[in-house]
Amino acid sequence: MNNSYESPFCTRYASPEMQYLFSADKKFTTWRRLWISLAKAEMELGLPITQEQIDELTAHQDDVNYDVAREREKACRHDVMSHVYAYGVQCPKAEPIIHLGATSCYVGDNTDVIILRDALRLVAKKLANVIALLRDFAVQYKDMPALAYTHLQPAQLTTVGKRATLWMNELLMDLKEVEYRVSTLQMLGSKGTTGTQASFVELFEGDDEKIKALEEKIAKDFEFDSVVPVSGQTYSRKVDANVLATLSGIAQSCSKFANDLRILQNFKEMEEPFEKNQIGSSAMPYKRNPMRSERICALARYVMVDSLNPAFTSATQWFERTLDDSANKRIAVAEAFLGVDAILNIMINVCDGLVVYPKVVEQRVMKELPFMATENIMMSAVKKGGDRQQLHEKLRVHSIAAAKVVKEEGGENDLIDRVCADPDFQLKKEEINAILQPKNFTGRAPKQVEEFVASQVNPALERYQDMLGEKVSLSV
């Protein structure tokens, strides 16, 4: 349809897998699985429910009659009860026991937690693929000297691979945070209208053990270790706030990577992949714009701002529950996941085809290296009998003069020529050139790459080995 709004997350950005997790099919078939689980557990604990009723519910678990539910909701103005009705139409024998003892949040909130878990696992898989690609890149370029920057001004040297470990390290922090969120998720369980389980006290005639066993059985059906110990009608909305804070963290890390790459592309040291027929600009045919990195930054900004929504929702829940969470929650949580999914899709695509220009990297290093090597030059001159204090002052003066040539005259850095021409240094050009070996100025960068990959990255990726190697082709 071209005459109504469609979310760009669906048409341009998010993957089919993530879109499915927030689809109507995922939501309502999970509701039905929860109703089946509840009825089965109630039957096993002695309530008058038959296997025939369970079988009937199971037979219609996946064929949701949406048309009946939609028509019913127009009349009753309640989404859960409209689906209870629609399910009952398909399952006339089981209709009397559907949703027995439950409140709306039994299906709504438990489904939300299941989706959170599944979506976080998908995020973790994609994060692992990004980290694996950057790992391979870092190892490949661990020895290549490159300018490092503080305040976006040339500082000492690093290596191309060492810089990649900085990106990896933050993404690794994000991966561990995602894993923590998955490990601590709990189902709401069957808590009733205000969290007191009063309806189940009535159904099981006050038998506490059966009421607790009911929740344990439901949790086991959905592969959760536990349910929340206490709640109002809903699970605490801090869960959503914490999960979206984690997604915001991923957006922050990816935006930092993409911003760095955009600057490096301006320096012509590195760039993102550029397709054979890609057009960089409608007006300037020569341009190779970093559009993928720019898109990462744009989507990251959206996710970071979106993460405030559940924080405010959590802060404004009254007593046992209030419904002003619902409309905001269903948009904010879904779009944060869709946004991060889109970001990680682009990250995989970009990191799988990063381009390095070694000659440019080396050229930029050599333009700045004479300034960085002044201390080494001074020490060599002192060894030949020079006065350290006098040489320091001379190097300061020569450096200012050389910088003036570069900045004001547009010339080349002639610091080395100035030092060679100064008899107080007693150094020949070949002696200084021997000092000016970039690899002598990268410190432990290559070893840091090796150690980081061996001690941190590879162990973290072990559990994802069967999920690595994902390729993403961006159509737009």
The set of catalytic residues is 151, 281
Instruction: Report the relative pairing of strands 145-150 and 355-356 from DSSP bridges.
Output: unpaired
CA-atom Rg of the chain in angstroms: 31
User: Which secondary structure element, helix H or strand E, spans residue 242, and what is its range?
Assistant: helix 238-267
CB 304 within 8 A of CB 251: yes
Nearest in space to 398 (alpha carbons), one of 375, 374, 415, 373 = 415
Instruction: Quote the distance between the C-alpha of residue 77 and its chain's center.
Output: 37
Structure tokens at 291: 């559009």
Structure tokens at 280: 């960089």
Q: Whose structure tokens read 């559009």?
A: 291
**Exposed e or buried b per residue across 210-231, where buried means at least 16 C-beta atoms within 10 angstroms of its C-beta:** bbeebbebbbebbebeebbeeb
C-alpha to C-alpha distances, 274 to 214, 287, 304, nearest whole angstrom: 56, 11, 28
Q: How far apart are CA 195 and CA 191, in angstroms?
A: 5
238 CB contacts (<8 Å, ≥6 apart)? 314
Instruction: Quote the distance between the C-alpha of residue 187 and its chain's center.
Output: 23
Coil, strand or helix: which one is 473?
A: coil
- The amino acid sitting at 278 is Q
Structure tokens at 77: 């103005």
Q: Whose structure tokens read 């996941």?
A: 337
Q: How far apart are CA 223 and CA 412, in angstroms?
A: 66
CB 84 within 8 A of CB 74: no
